Amino acid sequence: MKSFTLLAGLLFSSTASSAVQGIKSPKPPSLNHLCSVNFTLGDAIPIGSGPRGIRLVIPILNGTFWGPRLKGTILPIGADWALLDPKYGLDPDKSFTADVRTTFKTHDGEFIQITLSGERQSDDARKRTLVRIGMETGSERYYWVNSLVGLGVVTRPAEEGREFELGMEFWQAQL
């Protein structure tokens, strides 16, 4: 009985002391810059309210990307097949789920398919938005992009009167 009490006391005190010291956060992965991106977007095409939400197709007309690991131009064969939440109506500032496919052509003539996806995190247009990035290629030179864990930050949201230019930064998460 005595040893049980002692054990319970040890367990309790160790729990108590770790609670006092707090739980240490593990070291977070780092982010390495891949490139800055300028997208030129076309007029949004309102597909309308369907079984999955309010669909809006935003064509990607062209663009450029430049950075330490990737640079080149964006081909005019992509779009954002975006969804709005019917709960908030047609206001893209209230809810917006991006679903982008587009193609990058690198300065040295290789092709990389890009997917971007993510939800608007705030209805404050000045706040930056994070999106997930996936990349796919058969190019030997850029084969490393197939396994990257990518994060995009929208730094300049598209605004009318600026030819629908949208700016982003692409980052690669690394351990």
Q: Which residues bind ligand NAG (CB under 6 A)?
A: 38, 40, 61-62, 64, 66, 165, 167
Closest CA to 62 of 172, 166, 160: 166
Instruction: List 41's β-bridge partners, or say none.
Output: 60
133 burial level (CB within 10 Å; 0-12, 13-18, 19+): buried
Q: Which is closer to ligand NAG, CB of 36 or CB of 97?
A: 36
Smallest distance from the beta carbon of 91 to ligand NAG, in angstroms?
A: 25
Instruction: List 33's β-bridge partners, or say none.
Output: 171
Cα–Cα dist 65/105, whole Å: 9
Q: Which is closer to ligand NAG, CB of 134 or CB of 167?
A: 167
Smallest distance from the beta carbon of 104 to ligand NAG, in angstroms?
A: 13
Smallest distance from the beta carbon of 99 to ligand NAG, in angstroms?
A: 22
Q: Which is closer to ligand NAG, CB of 54 or CB of 79?
A: 79
Smallest distance from the beta carbon of 56 to ligand NAG, in angstroms?
A: 19
Q: Which is closer to ligand NAG, CB of 66 or CB of 144?
A: 66
Cβ–Cβ < 8 Å for 168, 36: yes
Alpha-carbon distances of 125 from 38, 155, 171, rounded to whole Å: 18, 10, 21
